Amino acid sequence: MSDYKFGFIGVGNMGSALAIAVSKSVSGNEIMLADKFANKAQVLSNNLNCDVYDNTAVAARAKFIFLGVKPQMLKETLDGIADTLARRTDRFILVSMAAGVQISSIKEMLGANYPIIRIMPNTPVLVGEGMILYTCNDEVFMDEISEFCDGLKFAGKLDKIPENLIDAASAVSGCGPAFVYMFAESLADAAVECGLPRAKAIEYAAQTLLGSAKMILKTSKHPAELKDEVCSPAGSTIEGVHALENSGFRAGVMNAVKSSYKRTKELGKN
């Protein structure tokens, strides 16, 4: 029997955000952390009131084993725990968040067909507003998927999608926060140029993004329709919209998502 429910191998940006989200639904004594840089795991464990172990212990004792290392480090990390996993006689599920890496590649790296859930989270899980896409192989039982989703219920939205769509989706929601932060920063920079104090400019930009995102999700209107509602004839907003079009705004954003998609595919081949 696994004596911990959730184990994390690699608690950098994404692994730590997920561990924090999980700690809101289970107690610290059901969570174990491991990282190459043990001090990083130690600092997080102090906040979550949980224990720090090495990778092998997490592989031996956790039911859900989150692999939070960079895609380039995944093979080496799996090599280090393969024997431990092979010795287990109880149920365990590997949870990979590695961008671009398919479930079949993980199976190949391990040389065994273990239950695997592949997720594509984003860093807003830290504040309970994440978007987590997931898919799994046939070895995972339905009740385990429910248990997994329940553990992440305070992370944000979870959505099951076919594996062949996860890389495209990840270019939007996994990489997207970076694009959104750049947009927020640009809004704030321009407002500062127009005379607004920096702190207020950032707050107004962020609240505008939050409110606009909620409008899209709650009204179910197409974003173009919502944009039209802000643009009065001969008004100031349509002037700004025109300036954005002149700057190639849409093409720039589309290029960003497509470049991230392409790079995600490359990472999966490493």
Ligand X SMILES: NC(=O)c1ccc[n+]([C@@H]2O[C@H](COP(=O)([O-])OP(=O)(O)OC[C@H]3O[C@@H](n4cnc5c(N)ncnc54)[C@H](OP(=O)(O)O)[C@@H]3O)[C@@H](O)[C@H]2O)c1
Nearer to ligand X, 151 or 174 (CB): 174
CA distance 56 to 87: 11
Burial class (CB in 10 A: 0-12, 13-18, 19+), 76: exposed
Least separation in angstroms between CB 141 and ligand X:
25
Nearer to ligand X, 25 or 123 (CB): 123
Nearer to ligand X, 95 or 202 (CB): 95
Least separation in angstroms between CB 144 and ligand X:
21
Q: Are 191 and 201 in contact (CB under 8 A)?
A: yes
DSSP 119: E
Type of residue found at 3:
D
Name the residues that contact ligand X, by CB under 6 A. Answer: 9-10, 12-15, 34-37, 40, 55, 68-71, 73, 76-77, 97-99, 120-123, 174
Least separation in angstroms between CB 54 and ligand X:
8
What is the per-residue DSSP string for 149-161?
Answer: HHHTTTTEEEEE-
Type of residue found at 154:
F
Least separation in angstroms between CB 61 and ligand X:
16
Nearer to ligand X, 177 or 238 (CB): 177
Which residue, among 51, 90, 96, has the nearest Cα to 75 in the 3D structure?
96
Pairing, β 62-67 against β 51-52: unpaired
Phi first, then psi, for residue 70 (nearest 5°) are -60, 150
Nearer to ligand X, 93 or 171 (CB): 171
Hey, what are 214's tokens? 């909620």
Residue nearest to ligand X (CB): 12
Least separation in angstroms between CB 47 and ligand X:
16
Which residue, among 10, 8, 253, 19, has the nearest Cα to 155 in the 3D structure?
19
Least separation in angstroms between CB 171 and ligand X:
11
Largest CA distance in the chain: 71
Nearer to ligand X, 50 or 99 (CB): 99
